[in-house]
Every structure is written in structure tokens, then in C-alpha cells.
């Protein structure tokens, strides 16, 4: 008898129940791994799978995480180049693809990343036909549209991480100005995750007190407090961090874990993520933009109807046009 047999007697007559809460992360670059470690440290899944094309890097990353298992509550951490390792995932996070170089805009990455998605998405769908896709790769709004088209999933199961991060950056900067915690500073940035995101000034509040009511020029040119600069810093945020350390990882990783938490725990929390906005705010094109959405275990089930100013809606429509201009040229 082996040591194991002397020590342990197997008594269950049933098959082991597979994982109920499996998460897959596609891409083990800086963003993928930051998402993985955030998800692990928040105890969000009982099974984590990693996929990538770089086999050595993939194996090294999974070993490093496994070596930390004593400190975690995720029973299985596995990785493979082959997508069969991702089977039966509840949520699949796609971070794979080329990333912005210093000074490069997100829209530039499009065609490179579309080609990568043409390989990834069908493989994900094959092994987890009921999963929820969370797209992070940039340009996220376009790539969420691409993932939606390539997967054939209903729109509630294809979500883009969108402006969840932009809003988090905004709330951090707002919190610094007001000497409060970011979770007490409410502000929504919607639209494109990128240079033309839209700060909804009318909604910015603390304890329900609208800051725009206290400062009617807020966000405008004649605003003596120069809140417009805050939004500018949000837009520039990623470029600045990339210039200083080469890439961004921690903030987006935490933001992804936050979204995964809402889905896995069926929180019905309202978060700004990228979804199909055709028919809303005068947008006619089949594009994905960020608006406040309700997230739960069925994915993205509802959208909050924001009351936007005419110029805010104008900005959304303009983003939609720009995105559609790029999307219609894509070969899917």
C-alpha cells in the first residue's frame, strides 16, 4: 500500500463535481497576470486557467502561481497552449493581443488584434459555449464588437472592460482633490475607453450633493476649478504610466477583478462597461461603448438610461461614428 493509500481512504461513490466557478485568463502578459493575481487574492474562483501561445512563459507563470497555493483559496490553477484547459469556464477574460507602444493610440492596434481574436474567440466558444466573455485588449470597444461577432454569443454575454478603469482613475483624482476615499466620490466616465471618453459632469456627486450644482461651470472652459483638467489627466493617465514604467497593469488588473466579482457573485452592481449601444442616445451604428450597466451572473442584463446633455450625447454619437468608421473596414 502506498503512503497515500495508508493515509487516505476514498469514500465518495459519486464522480467529483467539476468546477462551478471557473475563470480563464487568455494572455499571460502584464495585464493578464495582474488580472489573475487580483482574482486569486479576492477568492473569486475555484479553478483558474491560463492560456497563451508562449509556452515557456505560460508554464513559468502557472508554476509561480501554484507555488503560492498555500496562501490562496483556489483549488486548481492550470495552464496550456491548448484551449481544452479552459473548458466549462464561467468567465473568460481576454487580454491577449498587441499593446500600445509609447505614444501610440489604442485605435492603431486594431487590425493586429482582430487577427489574433479570429484564432482565440472560436476556441473559447468551442470549450465554454455558455461563458461570459470579458474583453480587455485594446481598443476595447472595437474588440468587444469583434468578439461579439466572432463568438455568436447574445449581447449580454460579451462585455468590454471599457471605462470601468477610466471612471476609477477619475474617482481617484476627484478623491485627491476632496480629501476623501474614492469610493465616496461618485463620477461616471462613459463612451469610448480612450481619448474621446465622456465625463458626465451632471452626475458627479458626494453623498448625493451634485458638485455641478455647487459649481455650475464645472467641466467647462470658464471653470475656475479646472475640472476639465481632471478628465484630461484620466485620458493621459495610461500614456503617462506607459512612459514611466513601460506598460500599465495593476489598475486594470484590479478593475477586471472588480467586474469579475460582480459577475461571479451575481451582485447586480452598476458599472461602466462596454456594451452594444445601438439605439441609445441617438446612436444608430452597431457599436460598443461604455454606459452604466447592471452586472450579474447572467452577464450584462440591463443598462441605466442616463440623462445626458445634448453635447454629451453628441460626443457619444461622434465616438460611435469614429468606431464604426474603423469597424466597417475590418475583415471578420
Binding site residues, another protein, CB under 8 A: 2-4, 6-8, 33-34, 37-38, 41-42, 56-57, 59-61, 63-72, 75, 165, 168-169, 171-172, 175, 177-178, 181-183, 206, 209, 211, 214-215, 224-226, 237, 240-246, 248-251, 253-255, 257-258
Comparing CB distances to another protein, the nearer of 30 and 114 is: 30
Check: CB of residue 116 under 8 Å from CB of residue 97: yes
Comparing CB distances to another protein, the nearer of 16 and 329 is: 16
For the CB of residue 51, give the shortest distance to another protein in the complex, in Å: 15
Q: Is 279 annotated as a binding residue?
A: no
Q: Is 137 annotated as a binding residue?
A: yes
CA distance 260 to 22: 11
**Ramachandran sector of residue 19 (left: φ over 0; alpha: ψ -120 to 50; beta: rest):** beta
Q: Is 326 annotated as a binding residue?
A: no
Check: CB of residue 118 under 8 Å from CB of residue 142: no
Angle at 92 between CA 90 and CA 93, to 5 degrees: 140
CA distance 169 to 191: 15
Comparing CB distances to another protein, the nearer of 95 and 151 is: 95
For the CB of residue 313, give the shortest distance to another protein in the complex, in Å: 26
Q: Is 29 annotated as a binding residue?
A: yes
Check: CB of residue 253 under 8 Å from CB of residue 37: yes
For the CB of residue 244, give the shortest distance to another protein in the complex, in Å: 3
Candidates 193, 231, 268, 281; catalytic one = 193
Cis omega (within 30 of 0) on the bond before 214?
A: no
193 is catalytic: yes
Cis omega (within 30 of 0) on the bond before 19?
A: no
Q: Is 306 annotated as a binding residue?
A: no
**70 contacts: CB under 8 Å, gap ≥ 6:** none
Comparing CB distances to another protein, the nearer of 144 and 248 is: 248
The residues that are catalytic are: 193
Binding residues: 27-32, 52, 113, 136-138
Amino acid at each position: 500500500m502506498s503512503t497515500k493509500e495508508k493515509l487516505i481512504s476514498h469514500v465518495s461513490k459519486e464522480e467529483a463535481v467539476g468546477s462551478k466557478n471557473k475563470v480563464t485568463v487568455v494572455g499571460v502578459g502584464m495585464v493578464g497576470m495582474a488580472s489573475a493575481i487580483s482574482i486569486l487574492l479576492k477568492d473569486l474562483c475555484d479553478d483558474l486557467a491560463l492560456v497563451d501561445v508562449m509556452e515557456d512563459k505560460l508554464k513559468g507563470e502557472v508554476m509561480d502561481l501554484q507555488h503560492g497555493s498555500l496562501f490562496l483559496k483556489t483549488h486548481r490553477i492550470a495552464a496550456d497552449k491548448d484551449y481544452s484547459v479552459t473548458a466549462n469556464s464561467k468567465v473568460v477574460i481576454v487580454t491577449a493581443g498587441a499593446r500600445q507602444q509609447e505614444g501610440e493610440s489604442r485605435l492603431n492596434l486594431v487590425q493586429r488584434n482582430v487577427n489574433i481574436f479570429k484564432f482565440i474567440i472560436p476556441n473559447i466558444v468551442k470549450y465554454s459555449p455558455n461563458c461570459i466573455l470579458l474583453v480587455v485588449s485594446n481598443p476595447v470597444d472595437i474588440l468587444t464588437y469583434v468578439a461579439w461577432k466572432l463568438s455568436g454569443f447574445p449581447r449580454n454575454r460579451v462585455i468590454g472592460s471599457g471605462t470601468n478603469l477610466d471612471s476609477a482613475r477619475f474617482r481617484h483624482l476627484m478623491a485627491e482633490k476632496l480629501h476623501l476615499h474614492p469610493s465616496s466620490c461618485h463620477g461616471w466616465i462613459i463612451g469610448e475607453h480612450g481619448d474621446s471618453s465622456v465625463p458626465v459632469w451632471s452626475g458627479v456627486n458626494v453623498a448625493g450633493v451634485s458638485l455641478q450644482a455647487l459649481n455650475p461651470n464645472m467641466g467647462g472652459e470658464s471653470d475656475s476649478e479646472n475640472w476639465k483638467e481632471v478628465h484630461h489627466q484620466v485620458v493621459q493617465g495610461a500614456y503617462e504610466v506607459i512612459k514611466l514604467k513601460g506598460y500599465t497593469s495593476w489598475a486594470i488588473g484590479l478593475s477586471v477583478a472588480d467586474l469579475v466579482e460582480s459577475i461571479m457573485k451575481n451582485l447586480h452592481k452598476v458599472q461602466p462597461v462596454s456594451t452594444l449601444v445601438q439605439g441609445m442616445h441617438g446612436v444608430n451604428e452597431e457599436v460598443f461603448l461604455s454606459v452604466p450597466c447592471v452586472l450579474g451572473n447572467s452577464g450584462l442584463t440591463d443598462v441605466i438610461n442616463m440623462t445626458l446633455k445634448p453635447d454629451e450625447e453628441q460626443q457619444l454619437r461622434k465616438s460611435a461614428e469614429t468606431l464604426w468608421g474603423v469597424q466597417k473596414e475590418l475583415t471578420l
